[in-house]
Structures are given as structure tokens and as C-alpha cells.
Structure 1
């Protein structure tokens, strides 16, 4: 039981990886463990695409080029839209407050100040290189499935990240990729009925990088729980 708690507590979004390779056997083990997640009527709505080597580099280059083109011409952003709304259309408290705290805490650690657009762009761009990880994974779902299947998918993804910690590996779940589905889905050979859920960086954390000292705070159970008796 302690090992499970330790894996959950030590899991974090790693934003700098070493180039140490991850074996296919390890990845398959993690995916098979992840697939023990519950799903409504055992629908198992998950599908994974694993990229390494030249394929990973090729995809990253295409998306980085698109991201850079938007910075040069913001009108191009209209061409890149996610398959679903991950965030609310209008932010409100307490969620906007947590978002701001998270963003400025991370940027502050990296010495990026408000208004420093070039450094912000460069840091955000690292998303589209999987933060240097040797493995990048894209997860898709059938577009015809309901909201409940996204709940199932979240449990699958949490299993994946905790199982990865059990293997001594680190991860970063990434919604940043979702805007570039028109590039990603054809590249990975996804079917027309598939929708991108998220990307995931997988590898070994670079412990020398200051960005990996950043840990996000959590609201305590006492604050978000109502007891009824």
C-alpha cells in the first residue's frame, strides 16, 4: 500500500527529460496495467499511438513549425482548433486564481517575467518537443462515445502515470497538443472517427533542470469535502 501512495505522491508533470531510452517492454507493461482502469460497461475507450526516434522528431518539427507560424501571424490560430473544449470558455474563481498561480509560479522559477513574450513562447514550445522525452504518446477516443467515456479515460491516464512511476519513469500529460489535431491525427494514421484526448511525454526526468523542482499545490480534502450524517 505504501508503494501505491508513494507513486501517487511522487508523480508530477516533468518538463525536462534525459535522452535515456525506454524499452518497448516497459511501455507495454505500463499500458497493460493502465488498461485495468474501470470503464462504463467495460467499453475500454482508450487507444494509444507511441512515437519514438525519427517519427517523434518529424511530428515535433511539424507542430513546432505551426506553432512558430502562429506567433508570426496570429490570424493562423483559427486554422488550429482542438476537437473538444478542455478549458471553460469564460474563466471564473477559484479556477482562474489557481491557473494564474500555477502559471506565474512556473514562469517565476524560470526567470520569465510578465510581458516577456519571446521567453514564454520558447518555454511553451517545449510542449511540442515532448520536453525532450524519448517517447511521446498520443491518446485518442471514438468521437461518438459519450461524456462518461472521458471520465473512464481520465482513470486510464492516471493509471498510466502511476504505473510509470512504478517503473521508475516520469510523465507529463499534455493538452497543449490538442489544438494541432489536423497535423497529428493524419500523421499517426488515426481514423476519421477518432478524436485526440491528449499527448503524454514519457521518460526519465532530468534532475539537473530547475523546472523539475516545480511542484503544484493542492487544495486539502477538508476544503473540498462536505460531510453528511
Structure 2
């Protein structure tokens, strides 16, 4: 008989509460303020062990994860913070996240994100110094005890990026099921030249993102970003019959 699943609460491990997948998905938010309560290696291994069952075309499984905590995470954070403060214009990601000319409705949604996100922090859109200070918090993993750096083999094609996205989503949902929050962070890809030697990332791997994992400092934070209604993105056919 297998042991019951477990969740992390502070430094203790307790039985995992049963919640529907809908509740877990709708309750997950991009947490940007974590407690420093440690997350045991066993818990991270359980998260990754479940997440690895993400769909993967031809079972390629294109992901690789560098799991950081403690002094190693601190050294990575210090190096990235220094680069962000002194030479951030010299660094650029190896892939393009946003289209140069976003069409509607995507441009409007991105603008709304900026207004809501920075507005909630009391940061004016034109305040580049405050915005850079907020961005810098990414590189401390927002205070989370565990940080992931996720890579993909650059020799693969765009289909494998779909697989990778589903894997990252699995990681965040499994973490949420264990009472943990997370934050996916594309901005780590910008500093791949710094991360590569620090983590011994081979040349064929491309840094895609980071993920912060831990307990949220504020439990039950209200969702800030709206989502489009189903009828805005779904087309139904054949149901009339």
C-alpha cells in the first residue's frame, strides 16, 4: 500500500488535502512574495516526479531542471542582481517572448497587465527606476526557498516547446496541490550567459525560464489579472444537434 500524499506546512509535512483540479488551477496565482520556510528536497522530488507525466510528442520529454536552494541559490541571485544593476542592457534572451508588433486584443491585454500590476504596487508607468527595482526581485526568486531554472535542448523544434510549457504548468499545479505557490519567470532567460557557468549548463541547452516555489507570505491573495470569458476564445460547432 502506497503512502498518502503529503503537503508542506512550514517545516512539517502533513497529509495532502483533497481538492479538485479545478480548484487548484483557479486558485493558482503568480506569487511574488514568499515566506522563507524551507521546502524539503523530498517534496521537490515528488513535484517533479508527478510533473514528468506531462504530454510529450513521441515521448521526447525535452525539459531539464536545475533545482536551487540555500547557498547555491544565493550565489546565483547575487550574480544576477549585480548584472541587473550594472549591465542589464548587455544581456538578452536567446529567444523572443513577445511579438514586436502585438495585434489586438493582445496589445490591449498587455497594457492592462502593466496598469493593474504596477498600479497595485503604487508604481507609475513612467517610473523606470521603481520598475527596475521591482524586476530585481525576480532574481531573488521573490524570497522563495526553492528556485528552478528550466532549459530545453536548442536543437529541438517549436513543438517541443509546447511539451515544455505543459511540463512547467504541471510543476506549478502539483506544487499548488501540496499547499505551495509558484511564479514562472521568463526574465531568467535574459541572463543565460551568467547562469551557464554557475550551473554548468551545457551549450546545447537554452535557458527558457525560472520558477520560484514556496509558501506564499499572504495566503488566499485575490487574483489581480482578469481572464477572457469562454465565448471570447472558444468556437463551438455541432452541439446544436
TM-score higher than 0.5: yes
Confirm or deny: 8 A CA contact 1:139 1:197 kept in the other structure: yes
What secondary structure is seen at the aligned counterpart in 2 of 1:37?
A: coil
Match of 2:167 in 1: 156
What secondary structure is seen at the aligned counterpart in 2 of 1:56?
A: helix
Confirm or deny: 8 A CA contact 2:19 2:177 kept in the other structure: no
Q: 1:217 aligns with which of 194, 211, 226?
A: 226
> How do 1:191-206 and structure 2 match up within 5 A?
191-206=202-217
Unaligned runs of 5+ in 1: 71-75
Instruction: Report how many residues are paired.
Output: 221
Structure showing greater relative contact order (alpha-carbon pairs closer than 8 Å, 6 or more residues apart): 1
1:7-43 C-alpha deviation (Å, 9 max, x unpaired): 1010110000000000101000000100010101101
Cα-Cα RMSD? 1.6
What secondary structure is seen at the aligned counterpart in 1 of 2:94?
A: coil
Kindly indicate whether residue 18 of structure 2 is the aligned counterpart of residue 18 of structure 1: no
Offset, 1:2: 5.3
Q: 1:7 aligns with which of 1, 20, 24?
A: 24
Match of 2:118 in 1: 107
Q: How far apart, in 2, do the equivalents of 1:114 and 1:141 lie?
A: 33
Query: Larger Cα Rg: Structure 1 or Structure 2?
Result: 2
What secondary structure is seen at the aligned counterpart in 1 of 2:55?
A: coil
Offset, 1:117: 2.1
Match of 1:38 in 2: 55
Offset, 1:215: 2.3
Offset, 1:213: 3.9
Kindly indicate whether residue 91 of structure 2 is the aligned counterpart of residue 85 of structure 1: no
1:213/1:122 CA distance change after superposition, 3 Å? farther
Q: How far apart, in 2, do the equivalents of 1:68 and 1:83 lie?
A: 20
Confirm or deny: 8 A CA contact 2:33 2:217 kept in the other structure: yes
What secondary structure is seen at the aligned counterpart in 2 of 1:127?
A: helix
What secondary structure is seen at the aligned counterpart in 1 of 2:148?
A: strand
Unaligned runs of 5+ in 2: 1-17
Match of 1:73 in 2: none
Query: Is 27-36 or 115-124 further displaced after alignment?
Result: 115-124
What secondary structure is seen at the aligned counterpart in 2 of 1:66?
A: helix
Kindly indicate whether residue 74 of structure 2 is the aligned counterpart of residue 65 of structure 1: no
Greater per-residue helix proportion: 1
Q: How far apart, in 2, do the equivalents of 1:114 and 1:86 lie?
A: 21
